[in-house]
């Protein structure tokens, strides 16, 4: 699909590397189709050595010849990067952003270019096990939608949704999700240590319990409600019933729900434009 095409990564960090490695590994694009631009020579040399892609320190030069420009800088660097790229992107080029909280309208306005895809990946993308929710501006062609899909597939699963509002929801649920999972796991490990397990063993027990539970959930061919699986391990008067009683009493479910809603509101707030409007 990317033969004779050029994908330029502006911001050659962890996520850009995950995409580059994933696409090469999946045979979606050759190293000769990719280039990366960023400020640090050492980092660029590393990517050039490891993947054989072209690299450079000038964002505008990289973007000028590209069919796809991937914006993979940190959110706080975005304004400056957009200003530097304004006027350098060819009229038919697809801009694919993975920058958290950056709305389609912010990117379009910043670049004066309206062929834009906005996506929200998550951390497991770094091992090709992420999940990305993404959306596209109206002017993105169906061929470009497919190109975006192939690039995002390098990070794991992807879900295209037409309404941009879902991106803020995805930020709160799957984008921020690994943080909730790690906190939950950390609390379990600490409880194991409290009871007397060596930390290493507690970590192994918790990691495999989480992984095994997810795999078990996924082996069910037909959709199964999570409450049914929970009930299966809850015998009357048993240990799970006792533990679940305490979790409910402590407001576990409400805490999770409120936390995710707070992250959703924060994501909407961060996406406000300079005048304080939430993007439509």
Ligand X SMILES: NC(=O)c1ccc[n+]([C@@H]2O[C@H](COP(=O)([O-])OP(=O)(O)OC[C@H]3O[C@@H](n4cnc5c(N)ncnc54)[C@H](OP(=O)(O)O)[C@@H]3O)[C@@H](O)[C@H]2O)c1
Task: Give yes or no for residue 96 binding ligand X (CB under 6 A).
Answer: no
Of the pair 113, 118, the CB lying nearest ligand X is at 118
Determine, following the binding rule CB under 6 A, whether residue 64 of this chain makes contact with ligand X. no
Q: Cβ(12)–Cβ(149) under 8 Å?
A: no
- By CB under 6 A, is residue 45 in contact with ligand X? no
Quick one: which of 12, 156, 192, 271 contacts ligand X (CB under 6 A)?
12
Provide CB contacts within 8 A for 139, sequence distance 6+: 114, 115
Q: Closer to ligand X at the Cβ: 38 or 271? A: 38
Q: Assess 39 for contact with ligand X (CB under 6 A).
A: yes
Options 5, 21, 43, 161; binder of ligand X; rule CB under 6 A: 43
| Structure-token pair, residue 138 | 């109206």
Q: How far is the CB of 76 from ligand X (least distance, A)?
A: 9
Closest residue by Cα to residue 23 from 147, 120, 144: 147
Q: Enumerate the β-bridge partners of residue 156.
A: 130
Q: Are 125 and 155 in contact (CB under 8 A)?
A: yes
- Dist. CA 166–CA 120, nearest whole Å: 10
Within 8 A by CB and 6+ apart from 229, the residues are 213, 216, 217
Q: Is 81 in the site for ligand X (CB under 6 A)?
A: yes
d(CA 38, CA 70): 12
Judged by CB under 6 A, does residue 110 bind ligand X? no
22: contact with ligand X by CB under 6 A: no
Q: Of 122-161, which residues contact ligand X (CB under 6 A)?
A: 122-123, 125
Residue nearer to ligand X on the CB measure, 2 or 134: 134
> Is 176 among the residues that bind ligand X (CB under 6 A)?
no
Q: Does 41 bind ligand X (CB under 6 A)?
A: no
Among 24, 89, 94, 98, the residue binding ligand X under the rule CB under 6 A is: 98
Token pair 């990366």: residue: 36
Quick one: angle between helices 41-51 and 14-25, nearest 10?
A: 10
Other Cβ atoms less than 10 A from the Cβ of 42: the count is 6
177 binding ligand X? (CB under 6 A): no
Residues that bind ligand X (CB under 6 A): 10-16, 37-40, 43, 59, 72-75, 77, 80-81, 98-100, 121-123, 125, 175
């Amino acid at each position: 699909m990317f033969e004779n095409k050029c994908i330029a990564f502006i911001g050659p960090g962890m996520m850009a590397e995950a995409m580059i490695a994933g696409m090469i590994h999946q045979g979606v694009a050759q190293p000769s189709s990719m280039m990366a631009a960023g400020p640090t020579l050492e980092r660029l040399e590393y990517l050039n050595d490891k993947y054989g892609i072209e690299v450079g320190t000038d964002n505008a030069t990289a973007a000028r010849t590209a069919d796809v420009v991937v914006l993979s800088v940190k959110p706080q660097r975005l304004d400056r990067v957009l200003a530097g790229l304004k006027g350098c992107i060819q009229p038919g080029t697809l801009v694919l952003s993975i920058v958290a909280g950056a709305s389609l309208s912010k990117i379009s306005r910043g670049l004066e270019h309206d062929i834009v895809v906005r996506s929200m990946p998550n951390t497991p993308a770094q091992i090709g096990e992420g999940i990305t929710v993404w959306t596209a501006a109206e002017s993105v062609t169906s061929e470009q939608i497919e190109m975006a899909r192939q690039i995002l597939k390098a990070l794991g699963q992807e879900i295209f949704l037409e309404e941009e509002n879902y991106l803020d929801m995805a930020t709160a649920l799957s984008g921020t999700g690994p943080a909730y999972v790690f906190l939950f796991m950390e609390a379990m490990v600490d409880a194991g240590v409290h009871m007397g397990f060596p930390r290493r063993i507690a970590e192994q027990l918790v990691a495999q319990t989480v992984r095994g539970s997810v795999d078990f959930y996924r082996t069910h061919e037909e959709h199964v409600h999570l409450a049914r699986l929970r009930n299966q391990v809850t015998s009357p008067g048993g240990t799970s019933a006792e533990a679940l009683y305490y979790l409910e009493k402590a407001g576990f479910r409400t805490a999770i729900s409120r936390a995710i809603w707070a992250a959703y509101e924060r994501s909407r707030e961060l996406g406000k434009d300079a005048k304080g409007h939430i993007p439509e």
